[in-house]
Amino acid sequence: MATQAVRLFRKLDGLFAVYKPQGVHWKLVRDTVETNLLKAVNSFSPPAPQCMVQFQVLPSGETSNSTNLTVTASKLPTLSDHHLVAGPQFNNICVGVGHRLDAFSSGVLVLGLGNGNTALDSLYRSHVSRDYILEGEFGMATNDFTHTGRIIERSTYEHITQDKLEHVLAMIQGANQKALIMYSQVDLHTQEAYELAVKGMLHPQYKSPPILTGLRCLHFQLPHFTLEVQCVNETQKYLRKLLHEVGLELRSTAVCNKVRRTRDGPFKIEDALTHRNWTADAIIPSVTYFHRTTQKIRKNDRKAVNHLWISVSAKCIKCIVYNS
Amino acid sequence: MYLCRRCVGFLHARLMPVKAQNWGNLGYVLPLAKLCYLKQPTLRGFPQGYQNLSQRKKEMGQSCGIRCLADQQATPHRQTSDIFEQKKDSNDITTFKNSNLHHIASTQVSFPAYLDAVPCPSPFEEISEQDAIQITVPPGLPPVTFTLRDYVDKSETLQKLVQLGVNLFKLEQRRNVGSMLVRLDFQGDVSPRLFFLKDLGVEDTQLGPLLSKNPFILTESLENLQGRVSYLKSKKFSSEAVAAMVSKAPYLLNFSVERMDNRLGFFQQQLGLSAQKTRDVVTRLPRLLCGSIEPVKENLKVCELQFGFRKNEIQHIVSKVPKVLTANKRKLTQVFDFVHNTMGVPHSLIAKFPQVLNAKFIRIKERHLFLDYLGRAHYEPAHPNYISLQRLVSLPDDVFCTEVALVSLKDFERFQKTL
């Protein structure tokens, strides 16, 4: 008969998304979520103390006037299982973090609970892309590509128009498409590769540098501009450097004001939890909501592993046939 | 549990050759340690490591050792005869030199014949009453352990502490506190101090948390404790104030009178407040008297030089929100920078609502940016839609949304996800 605490603990299993605020380290987010869940799980009343056989020297039995003391065994409640002596029932909950976000960025951060952490591995191996919204400003260049860094250079930007910006973005997109085709290791002259490319299902096999699969300008008002980016294998520093390079291509300089992740694979920003909702009350419904998504992620990973085995074994058979 | 000495001896005689086989070199010496640890611990000849082993074996009772020796069955893996002969001759341990041990380990000697003659008794044989009474039952308590769970059922002090609400689990993780608590005597040490705290006015429900935070109050001498309380009362702190201070800062009474005097003098002189106001501040934040003065000096310098507050403004802020004195310098600067430079609130208004400096930065930032987005970010009292800083910071989220921003909580959450 499981206690309430154990039943609640068993529900903490799966993946969910959290909206990481700007300026906060991802580890603090993970620790806060773990602390809140532990508080919820340890808040129930502790179970009744267990009884242990203890030997006591008591006056012996039947007649009241006998003064003999004998050693008798009796079952008494023991204090060694009391929560003040043995500690809380749960000491830690496994909370894992998906694709990390650095302290300057904000946005969707996927966390895994309990057995869901294995699904995080599947998410890493899968070829999901991530959506970012980058806000930049022309006129400055800093050492860490953000508006809070040490300014290295200032420049004019009045000559920049939206046309020129679109031209530069198209150039960057072209270069990234070529890289995508190269790293996806498909021969584009074949029919299957063409169909995959048309559907947009090309992705890099194995390790690759950051590749942008989509790039467009959302808003342009000098000196501020906003870009939307879809990418794989990226880091947030790379995206800030991208803005810096856009500025350089336009014969000016640019810094990044904000990096915001709006989608991480199937986890969208509408379903991410803000910091006032990082409690068990809101996390458990969110985990249930993403249950199907988690199952799909695991299934895709298994299919991908099977394909890998098939392709590796096919290569082995080819080698054997060739050699013999 | 041991049933009878004979069966124990029998079991050990059976087990030790097996151990010797498994452990190689060590095995040769382990039973040696057991055999030789008979009466006196003059183990001068022994290598250091094995002494611990033999001390642990001590619990099993010396009688077992004697029995083991007498009941040895001859097996080819046993030790050399030299030691045995010496044991048989005299019951005192003679000093074994190290070389002897190594010699033992390397040689395999056949057993003397006289050992075969001793019959091993069956474990099911009945023994007489005198024999039964002489069996020493080892105590259930381990001599060395890492947790107080093993002792709590047997120790009156620990049981009474648990009943008071002291968190033994937290305390045993601190170095040496567990041993200290086990050594305390309830009637002699603990109850006089508990009565002292009760007389002071500390409530019963507060005693547990107080001892969980500061168990060393149980080892402080009663004269010292009473001296410090009388010092505080001489400085015109009321008894309720002293009780509240001790509950909030459990380490207070462990500090000497000179140290407390030093700090009180520093606060009165630096802050420039009257005696009554200083007493108020210290009663509200008694850990000012416990901690070091340096961080407080730095915070005061930051307020004066970096923020640019005047002396009377600092006095007002500290008397309203004493926590500013012990706040983190970096976080305080971050909050002040945002409130003064980004929100545009002047010094006088911040001094009027000092709880802003105590609030979380993320809360102030999100709420201000939301009000700015809605066009309601007016903080000067002259404006018709004026929003006071106190309401901005202290209201919970849902009340803030409905009353101050006049929107639903969902909209505020949607806005938070655009930051």
Confidence class for position B319, pLDDT limits 50, 70, 90: very high
The nearest alpha carbon in chain B to A78 belongs to B153
Most confident option among A56-60, B117-121, B248-252 = B248-252
Instruction: Indicate whether A130 pLDDT > 60.
Output: yes
CA distances from B7 to A40, B67, B116, B277 (A): 53, 10, 18, 78
DSSP category for residue B401: I
* CA-wise closest residue to B386 among B352, B336, B335: B352
A187, A212 Cβ separation under 8 angstroms:
no
Q: Do A86 and B153 touch (CB under 8 A)?
A: no
Cβ–Cβ below 8 Å for B169 and A87? yes
What is the dihedral sign for C-alpha A110, A111, A113, A115? positive
Q: How far apart are CA A94 and CA B256, in angstroms?
A: 45
Which tokens hold the place of A143?
């050492």
- pLDDT above 70 as % of chain A: 97
| Bridge-based pairing state of the strands A106-113 and A254-264 | parallel
Contact A180, A204 (CB under 8 A): yes
Chain A: give the shortest CA distance to residue B212, in Å.
10
Which of B169, B362, B366 has the CB atom closest to A84's CB atom? B169
pLDDT at residue A227, as a whole number: 96
Q: pLDDT tens for residues B276-313?
A: 999 999 999 999 999 899 999 999 999 999 999 999 99
Q: How far apart are the C-alpha atoms of B93 and B40, rounded to whole Å?
A: 7
Cβ neighbours of B209 in A, within 8 Å? none
Strands A130-138 and A140-142: unpaired
pLDDT of the residue at A122: 92
Measured in degrees and rounded to the nearest 5, phi and psi for residue A292 equal -60, -45
* pLDDT at residue B287 in the model: 92
DSSP category for residue A168:
H
Confidence of residue A276 (pLDDT cuts 50, 70, 90): very high
Q: Is A87 left (phi over 0), alpha (psi -120 to 50) or beta?
A: left
Average pLDDT over residues B222-228: 94
Contact list in A for residue B159 (CB cut-off 8 A) is: 79
Q: What is the dihedral of CA A223, A263, A270, B365, to 10 degrees?
A: -40
What was the pLDDT predicted at B163?
Answer: 92
Distance from CA of A101 to the nearest CA of B (A): 15
Mutate to test the interface with B, among A80, A84, A264 (most CBs of B within 10 A): A84
Who has greater pLDDT, B142 or A29?
A29
Residue in this structure with the two tokens 């005061």, named with its chain if needed:
B300
Q: Which residues contact B227 (CB under 8 A, 6 or more apart)?
A: B257
pTM, rounded to two decimals: 0.77
Q: Among the listed ranges A165-174, A253-262, B73-82, B372-381, which one has the minimum average pLDDT value?
A: B73-82
Looking at residue B47, its pLDDT comes to: 42
Between helices B222-234 and B239-248, what is the axis angle to 10°?
120
Whether A257 and A104 have beta carbons less than 8 Å apart is answered as no
User: pLDDT (tens digit, 9 = 90+) per residue, B155-187?
Assistant: 889 999 999 999 999 999 998 999 999 999 999
Distance CA B83, CA B103 (A): 11
To test the contact with chain A by mutation, choose from B400, B416, B417, B418 the residue with the greatest count of A C-beta atoms within 10 A, namely B417
Show the tokens assigned to A261: 């992740």
A214-218, B39-43, B195-199: least confidently modelled range = B39-43
Q: Whole-angstrom Cα distance, residue A203 to residue A181?
A: 8
Predicted pLDDT at A65:
56
In chain A, what residues touch B416 (CB-CB under 8 Å)? 19, 21, 274-275
Reduced DSSP (H G I as helix, E B as strand, rest coil) percent helix, strand, coil of chain B, to 5 = 65, 0, 35
Among this protein's residues, is A102 annotated catalytic? yes
Bigger pLDDT: B76 vs A216: A216
A97-123, pLDDT tens digit by residue?
Answer: 999 999 999 999 999 999 999 999 999
Cα B8 to Cα B4, B23, B63, B321: the distances in Å are 6, 21, 10, 71
Give the residue numbers in A contacting B (CB under 8 Å), as ranges.
19, 21-24, 52, 54, 78-80, 82-88, 106, 260, 269, 272, 274-276
Q: Which of B193, B198, B195, B172 is nearest to A84 (CA)?
A: B172
Residue A34 has pLDDT above 80, yes or no: yes
- Per-residue pLDDT tens over the stretch B78-103: 444 444 444 444 444 444 444 444 44
Is B169 within 8 Å of A106 when comparing Cβ atoms? no
Partner-chain contact B162 A82, CB within 8 Å: yes
CA dist., res. B121 & res. B404, Å (int): 91
End-to-end CA distance of chain A: 63
Per annotation, catalytic residue among A13, A81, A102, A121 = A102
| SS3 call for A167 | helix
> What is the identity of the amino acid at B293?
I
Alpha-carbon distance B370 to nearest alpha carbon in chain A (angstroms)? 15
The DSSP call for residue B264 is H
